[in-house]
Amino acid sequence: MKYLENVGIQTPIILDWAIRNKTCKGAGGMEDNVCGNNTYCTNSTNGPGYLCHCLEGYQGNPYLPDGCQALDRSIAKTCEKGTMNYACGNNTDCSISSNSPGYICQCMKGYRGNPYLPDGCQGMARPGCRNKCGNVSIPYPFGLVGDDSTCYRDEFKLFCNTATDPPNLTIYGDGHYDHSILNISLQGQLTFSRMATTSCHMGENQDLQGTPSTIDLPKAYRFSNTRNKFTAIGCNTLGIMSDSDDKYFHIGCISFCPYATEVNGSSCDGIGCCQTAIPHDLGTFNLKLQTYSDDTSSSYTWNISRCSFAFLSDQEWFLSNAYKLWDLRNKVDTLVNSEFKTTMIVDWAIRNMTCDQVQRGKFDYACGKNTECANSINGPGYLCHCKKGFHGNPYLSDGCQGNYSKLYHSTLFFTAINIFSSFTFVLILFLLICISWLYFIIRKRKLMKLKEKFFEKNGGLFLQQQLSSIGGSKLLRIFSTEELKLATHNYNEEFIIGRGGQGTVYKGILSDHQVVAIKMSRMMNENQIEQFINEIVILIQINHRNVVKLLGCCLETEVPLLVYEYVSNGNLFQHIQRNHDIFLSWEDRLKIATETAGALAYLHSTVSIPIIRRDIKSTNILLDENFTTKVSDFGVSRLLPVDQSQITTLVQGTLGYLDPEYFHTSQLTEKSDVYRFGVVLVELLTGKKPLSFERSQEQRNLSTYFIASMKENRLFQLIESQLCTEENTKELLIVAELARRCLNVKGEKRPTMKEVALELQGLRLEKHPWIQQTEEESMNLLSKHSELHVPQGHYVGDTSEQSSLQKDMIFSMNFPR
């Protein structure tokens, strides 16, 4: 107490001081201004007065006349090489900082890396090799013809045309000099521009003029199916994209022009402009344009659009240029003289082997040190990437250099080990183990939450409710992500058995050795999930020996996976076209037709709510080893309400199979399936493709040519010659007449699928009485009425929604392969 009374307690206090007589404004230029040279003044923030500070680039006491001295310029501002403390390494540029005292180091153009390390900036090309053509940088493994052969890998030779201004960079070789390479990325992409395919109306009684477009890339390149889309612009225009030989694939789309058509913005939905995706692993294409109309509509078509044009382009380029593309339709000179070019993306890779193959043998391995190998996602081959913490060119031997931060932290780490005691080291090691353990636990929890999120997003909870309401938990198996990854060897490309506009199909072998087909769908809209689940509930209740069975699904992934029974002998289209080198006898063809008709009749008339198959074609009719039929792919099927005979939908289908009545009215009925089945019958009779641009105009559409041949009594000239035997004549005539009835342009005059099935079954019974028991079972099946549970709220006639099992592609027609 006495100590406190006599001495007290001392505590620190902060005081703000300032020159209190004036503010900065009042002190400016006055004799009593206490700030020295190279200073600036600020008003006090606590009471009146001001403070002095040294200017930027100076340091010292601002209250002395010469107290603020400049910083050492040899360190702070000079870019002169060789001066003391010059920080920039080799192959660098130095520039004075505009924001603060000092300078900045940067790698020279054509070099990448850390400019503050002695050899941190590495060239993208090999030493002594040209690394630019005009404004385009050329990194190894690319190089220019004319340089030493070590400057490039042979498959990446380029040609720099210096006769143009600026110089034009192209792929080396005949047929590649009419495009310009705009950019080369070591991430596996190459950007170049290319002329579009055009067709212009030059006036009355004059031929159309335009430019075709065919590209056949060298084997190292593929057109990017993720970045590019095929586009056609014009009126009543059919844009077609195929391989250069017109044999292996066709895709296309149709662009219509109602009167007073006007296209604005980036819309490309079939009115004046249409688009479609391109296949995976595509290295060649041929673009063609045709008028999709009769002569009566040509006059108004040419008034709206004198030209049509088609092209493949980067979708980002299309979106940024879409607003002006429609305006080109009447600029004949620009389009006919090939002045219109588009930008497209090409994927490149080292195509000779996969990562596993090349790393096992180390034969011609293209990746340098500190790199990782990644398999190409577009075609065979691999790409090289610098490991994490390194950057540069992974295709050069020492192209991937570590960054300064990593070097600094490594030095700091090893210094710490030398300083700390062994006890400290053990403690750090223990902490690292704990952190690693926590990291794996957190990562596992995040993965589980992600699976739960996908399961809920893909309608898993709704599906469980629906299955429990019908006691259907035994009808559908819910697979885990791990099960299907194991079944497909982590979705190995060697397990792919089919690709299409709706997704990719893998062959899988489950842990119980059951062979299945696993379908990975495209991305789905959230609004389609409920209908997707409802359709699964309905499909699992379909039980017919000639319909592919849906076994289960997996909803823990970003897009749902569907698991079907595996059918091993390919599809009907492949057998008709003899891709399997096996000729289908007439008995087999009649059996396949009968079984397919029975399956469709079951879907139309036996279940409580009819299902319209909607996309019947020979590629969707699968065959097992005994040529037993399995109707597959119900992705675009629709349910027909019991109180309706038709529903209105957006037109979808495959050219050659499309019901003309459905195409013109958008009214989908059971008779639309009958028409498509009629096309399949004609395929079985003739062995020809439903649509082929290799045939003459008269014979191009098989259905119309078939009807014309029957009217002119030329049927047996069209039927496949090996089928035309005396024994088969009567049955061929009966089936041909049945096909003709199915192909009637008026749906009301076509037979029902049940009538078709019974007629074909009767034909088989007449020829082979010993199959009577099997056929009687099939007919009994058609006479029984199966009850399907339809989930509550499943509105099958709603025209505002598209099929949620697969995404409808309006006017985007996939031709048979």
**Which residue segment(s) compose the domain that 39 sits in?**
18-70
| pLDDT tens digits, 348-369 | 999 888 898 888 876 788 999 9
Any idea which of 13-17, 510-514, 648-652, 733-737 has the lowest mean pLDDT?
A: 648-652
**Lowest-pLDDT range, 229-233, 255-259, 552-556, 599-603?**
255-259
For the stretch 36-81, pLDDT in tens is: 888 888 989 898 899 999 987 788 899 998 888 876 544 445 677 7
Task: Kindly name the residue from 314, 347, 615, 673 that is annotated as catalytic.
Answer: 615
Residue 739 CA to chain centroid, in angstroms? Answer: 39
- Residue 375: give its domain's CATH number: 2.10.25
Asked if residue 683 and residue 657 are part of one domain, the reply reads: yes
- Residue 71, pLDDT score: 67
761: confidence class by pLDDT, cuts 50, 70, 90: very high
Q: What is the pLDDT of residues 297-306, one digit of tens each?
A: 566 677 788 8
pLDDT at 428: 84
- Note the pLDDT of residue 807: 31
Judgement on whether residues 481 and 492 belong to the same structural domain of the protein: yes
- Same domain? 626 vs 545: no
CB 97 within 8 A of CB 104: yes
Q: What is the pLDDT of residues 115-168, one digit of tens each?
A: 877 777 777 888 889 988 998 999 999 999 999 999 999 999 999 999 988 899
* Last residue within a domain, chosen from 538, 563, 588: 563
Write the CATH number for 526: 3.30.200.20
In a domain, 397, yes or no: yes
Instruction: Report which of 817, 814, 808, 650 is spatially closest to residue 278, judged by C-alpha positions.
Output: 814
Considering the domain boundaries, does residue 157 fall inside one?
Answer: yes
Same domain flag for 487 and 542: yes
Question: Between 801 and 512, where is the model more confident?
Answer: 512
Give first-to-last CA distance, the chain, whole Å.
103
Q: Of all helices (H) and strands (E), which one includes residue 575?
A: helix 572-576
Average pLDDT for residues 80-95, to the nearest whole number? 77
Do residues 171 and 156 both lie within one domain? yes
Q: In sequence order, what are the residues at sequence separation of 6 or more whose Cβ sits closer than 8 angstroms to the Cβ of residue 644?
A: 797
More confident residue, 229 or 292: 229
User: Could you report the per-residue pLDDT of 419-445, keeping only the tens digit for each?
Assistant: 445 567 778 888 888 888 888 888 878
Query: What's residue 442's pLDDT?
Result: 82
372 and 442 belong to one structural domain: no
**pLDDT value for 31:** 59
Residue 805: the pLDDT is 30
pLDDT mean across residues, the chain: 79
DSSP annotation of 548:
P
Q: Is 311 a member of any domain?
A: yes
Considering the domain architecture, whether residues 28 and 40 belong to the same structural domain is answered as yes
Provide the pLDDT for residue 299. Answer: 64
Question: CATH no. for residue 713?
Answer: 1.10.510.10
Give the lowest-confidence range in 46-50, 521-525, 550-554.
521-525
In a domain, 710, yes or no: yes
Assess whether 429 and 362 both reside in one domain.
no
Residue 77: the pLDDT is 53
Q: What is the pLDDT of residues 207-261, one digit of tens each?
A: 777 777 888 899 999 999 999 999 999 888 899 999 877 778 889 999 888 766 6
Any residues with CB less than 8 A from the CB of 149 and at least 6 apart, and which? Answer: none
Residues of the chain above pLDDT 90, percent: 27
Kindly report the number of other CB atoms within 10 A of residue 793's CB atom: 8
- Which pair of structure tokens corresponds to residue 244? 């250069």
> How many structural domains is the chain composed of?
7
Residue 537 shares a structural domain with residue 474: yes
Residue 381, phi-psi category: left (phi > 0), alpha (psi -120 to 50), beta (remainder) = left
Integer angstrom CA distances of residue 75 from 38, 59, 98: 20, 14, 16
Question: Cα dihedral sign for 351, 352, 354, 356?
Answer: negative
pLDDT digits over 440-471, tens only?
Answer: 888 878 777 777 777 777 767 777 776 666 55
- The answer to whether 272 and 233 are in contact (CB under 8 A) is yes
Does 251 share its domain with 278? yes
Residue 371 is assigned to a structural domain of this protein:
yes
Same domain, 637 and 713: yes
Instruction: Point out the domain boundary residue: 386, 415, 448.
Output: 448
pLDDT above 90: residue 737: yes
pLDDT of 812 > 80? The answer is no
Whether 375 has a pLDDT exceeding 50, the answer reads: yes
123 in any annotated domain: no
Residue 615 annotated as catalytic: yes
**pLDDT value for 189:** 95
Give the model's pLDDT for residue 771: 56
Do 691 and 713 fall within a single domain?
yes
